[in-house]
C-alpha cells in the first residue's frame, strides 16, 4: 500500500513539472517582442513604443502620478550612478550668439584631474560662477558673436560619458542597423544620446527668457530654427543684410541641440550665450528636465508639428540617406504600429498656455508672415511699428524661405552640419518643403489608416489635421 502511494505521488509531481514547463514556454512566446527596425530611432522621439510606457494624458502630457514616477525613477538612477562611481555631489542688444558644436568630444579625452575635482565640488556652484562671469562678458557684447567665438577650444570640464557610463551600460540594449540603442525611461534612444539626455535632465538651469524649440523630426525643425534665429538676431544682423549668418551657415549650425552640448560636457558654451538663448531638442516630453516642464519654470517652448502623413514621407526620404534599402512600406507600418502621438510637448499647451507656442507647419506655409509675428511676440521681441514699415517681417520671411535656403551654397550637397547631423549631407534638410506630398506615396487606404490612428491620439486636444 505504501509503495502504491509513493508511486501515485511521483506521478503527480511529474504532471506538475510538465504543466510548469508548458506555462514557461507560453510565457516565453508572449514575451517575444516585435522585431525592431531602423525606425525605432525615429519613433522614440514622438512617443513610447513599449507596452509598459508611462501613461499619458492630454496629448503627451503625463498625469501627476506619472510625473511623480518619472522624478522618483530619475532620483533612484541618480543615487545608483553616484554610488557606483563613488561620487558625492554636494543680451538682447546683440542678439543670440551662434554655438559652434564642433570640436567637443563626448568622451572628454584629455580631461584634467582638477576638472574632475571641480565637478565633485558641486556642479551647481561651478555653473553659477561660470554664468556670472559669462553674463559680465555678454553684457558688453553689442555686436553679436559668431560660431567660433563660443567654441574657444577649451577642454570640457567633465565627461558625461565617463560619469554616466556605468548607468548607460546597465540599460537594455538593442542593435539596430548601424546604431546601438538603449532603453531609457520607455524610449529607445541612440546610445550616444543617452549621456547627454541624463546630463541635460540633471544640470540644466533655465533662464527667464530661454526659448526651447521642440519638434518631432521632419516636421519643420530646420525652418523653425532659421525663423527663430532671424527674429532674435535682427538687432545685430538685419534680415536683409548680405552678410547675415543664415546666408553662410546651416540653421543647425546657428541653434544647437541642447542635449548634444551636455553630452560633450560643454555647458560653458551654453552659459556663455547672451539672452535670449535659443536651443533645440527632439526629446519627448517625459524626458525633458523638471526645470523645464514644471510650473515654476519660466523658460518658453515653441513647438512645431506637421501632418503625420507628410511627416512619414519626409522621414522616409531622410532615413534612406543612411539606409538606402529602407522601404516606404516598412516606414509606414512602423509608424502605424508605434501608435505614437504627434509630439512630445504638445500636452503643455493645456497646462502652460503662456509658456508654449504651438505652430503647425501647414499654417506657416500658408502665411509665414503671421507665424513670424506670433513667434516674435511670444519670444518677447515683437516687431516695432518702424520695423513693420521698413519691411523687416517680409525680409525675415524671404531670408528663411525654402527656395532661398536650399539655393545657398552652404545647404547644397556635400559636407555636413555641426554636431548631431554632421554625417548627413547638408541638402538632406531641404527636400520639397510642401504640404500634401503624401498623396504621391500613399494609397487612400493607407492615409485613412494613419489618420484614424492619430485622430484617436489627438482626441480632446483641439488639434486636427485635414
- Select the more confidently predicted residue: 78 or 143: 78
The residue-averaged pLDDT of 92-107 equals: 39
The mean-pLDDT minimum among 89-98, 114-123, 124-133, 190-199 falls in 114-123
- Active-site entry in 185, 237, 244, 282: 282
Provide the pLDDT for residue 310: 86
pLDDT of 88 strictly over 70:
no
Concerning whether 282 is annotated as a catalytic residue, the answer is yes
Going by C-alpha positions, the residue among 77, 190, 242 that lies closest to residue 423 is 190
C-alpha cell at 395: 525680409
DSSP state of 209: T
For residue 301, the SS3 value is strand
By CB neighbour count within 10 A (0-12 exposed, 13-18 middle, 19+ buried), where does 348 fall?
Answer: buried
Task: Indicate the average pLDDT of the chain.
Answer: 67
pLDDT more than 90, % of the chain: 17
Contacts of the segment 452-458: beta carbons below 8 A, 24+ positions apart: 453/336, 453/339, 454/308, 454/341, 454/342, 457/59, 457/339, 457/340, 457/341, 457/342, 458/59, 458/341, 458/342
Q: What is the pLDDT of residues 367-426, one digit of tens each?
A: 999 999 999 999 999 999 999 999 999 999 999 888 777 767 666 655 545 444 554 555
Contact between residue 299 and residue 212 where contact means Cβ atoms under 8 Å apart = yes
Locus of grid cell 558688453: 140
Q: How far apart are CA 324 and CA 333, in angstroms?
A: 17
The mean-pLDDT minimum among 178-182, 275-279, 363-367 falls in 178-182
- Select the more confidently predicted residue: 74 or 141: 74
Q: How far apart are CA 36 and CA 50, in angstroms?
A: 12
Q: What is the pLDDT of residues 236-271, one digit of tens each?
A: 999 999 899 998 888 888 888 888 889 888 888 888
Which DSSP helix (H) or strand (E) runs through 187?
Answer: strand 187-190
pLDDT of 82 strictly over 90:
no
pLDDT of 49 strictly over 80:
no
The mean-pLDDT minimum among 101-115, 131-145, 211-225, 240-254 falls in 101-115
C-alpha cell at 358: 504651438
pLDDT band at 105 (very low <50, low <70, confident <90, very high): very low
pLDDT band at 156 (very low <50, low <70, confident <90, very high): low
- Select the more confidently predicted residue: 181 or 141: 181
Going by C-alpha positions, the residue among 145, 228, 279 that lies closest to residue 399 is 228
Query: 455 Cβ partners below 8 Å, 6+ apart?
Result: 464
Q: What is the CATH number of domain 170-458?
A: 3.40.50.300
The residue-averaged pLDDT of 312-332 equals: 81
Sheet holding 356-360, edge to edge: 278-281, 211-215, 300-305, 356-360
Amino acid at each position: 500500500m505504501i509503495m502504491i502511494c509513493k508511486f501515485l505521488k511521483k506521478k503527480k509531481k511529474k504532471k506538475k513539472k510538465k504543466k510548469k514547463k508548458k506555462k514557461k514556454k507560453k510565457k516565453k512566446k508572449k514575451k517575444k517582442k516585435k522585431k525592431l527596425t531602423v525606425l525605432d530611432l525615429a519613433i522614440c522621439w514622438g512617443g513610447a513604443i513599449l507596452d509598459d510606457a508611462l501613461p499619458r494624458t492630454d496629448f503627451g502630457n503625463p498625469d501627476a502620478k506619472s510625473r511623480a514616477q518619472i522624478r522618483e525613477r530619475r532620483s533612484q538612477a541618480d543615487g545608483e550612478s553616484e554610488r557606483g562611481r563613488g561620487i558625492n555631489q554636494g543680451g538682447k542688444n546683440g542678439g543670440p550668439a551662434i554655438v559652434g558644436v564642433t570640436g567637443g568630444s563626448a568622451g572628454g579625452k584629455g580631461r584634467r584631474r582638477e576638472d574632475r575635482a571641480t565637478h565633485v565640488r558641486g556642479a551647481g556652484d561651478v555653473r553659477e560662477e561660470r554664468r556670472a562671469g559669462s553674463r559680465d562678458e555678454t553684457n558688453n557684447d553689442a555686436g553679436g558673436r559668431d560660431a567660433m567665438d563660443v567654441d574657444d577650444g577649451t577642454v570640457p570640464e567633465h565627461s558625461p560619458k565617463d560619469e554616466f557610463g556605468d548607468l548607460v551600460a546597465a540599460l537594455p540594449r538593442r542593435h539596430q542597423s548601424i546604431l546601438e540603442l538603449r532603453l531609457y525611461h520607455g524610449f529607445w534612444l541612440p546610445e550616444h544620446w543617452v549621456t547627454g539626455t541624463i546630463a541635460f535632465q540633471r544640470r540644466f538651469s533655465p533662464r527667464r527668457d530661454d526659448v526651447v524649440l521642440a519638434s518631432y523630426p521632419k516636421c519643420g525643425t530646420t525652418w523653425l530654427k532659421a525663423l527663430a534665429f532671424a527674429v532674435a538676431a535682427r538687432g545685430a544682423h538685419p534680415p536683409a543684410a548680405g552678410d547675415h549668418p543664415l546666408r553662410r551657415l546651416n540653421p543647425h549650425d546657428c541653434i544647437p541641440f541642447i542635449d548634444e552640448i551636455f553630452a560633450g560636457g560643454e555647458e560653458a558654451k551654453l552659459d556663455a550665450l547672451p539672452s535670449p538663448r535659443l536651443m533645440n531638442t527632439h526629446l519627448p516630453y517625459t524626458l525633458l528636465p523638471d526645470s523645464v516642464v514644471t510650473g515654476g519654470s519660466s523658460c518658453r517652448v515653441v513647438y512645431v508639428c506637421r501632418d503625420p502623413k507628410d511627416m512619414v514621407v519626409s522621414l522616409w526620404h531622410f532615413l534612406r540617406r543612411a539606409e538606402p534599402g529602407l522601404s516606404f512600406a516598412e516606414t509606414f507600418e512602423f509608424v502605424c504600429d508605434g501608435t505614437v502621438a504627434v509630439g512630445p510637448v504638445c500636452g503643455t499647451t493645456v497646462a502652460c498656455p503662456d509658456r508654449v507656442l504651438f505652430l503647425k507647419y501647414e499654417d506657416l506655409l500658408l502665411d509665414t508672415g503671421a507665424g513670424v509675428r506670433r513667434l516674435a511676440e511670444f519670444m518677447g521681441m515683437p516687431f516695432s511699428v518702424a520695423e513693420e514699415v521698413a519691411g523687416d517681417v517680409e525680409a525675415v520671411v524671404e531670408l528663411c524661405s525654402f527656395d532661398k535656403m536650399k539655393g545657398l551654397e552652404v545647404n547644397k550637397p556635400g559636407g555636413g552640419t555641426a554636431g548631431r547631423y554632421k554625417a548627413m549631407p547638408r541638402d538632406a534638410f531641404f527636400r520639397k518643403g510642401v504640404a500634401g506630398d503624401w498623396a504621391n506615396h500613399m494609397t487612400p487606404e493607407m492615409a485613412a489608416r494613419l489618420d484614424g490612428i492619430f485622430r484617436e491620439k489627438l482626441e480632446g486636444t483641439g488639434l486636427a489635421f485635414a
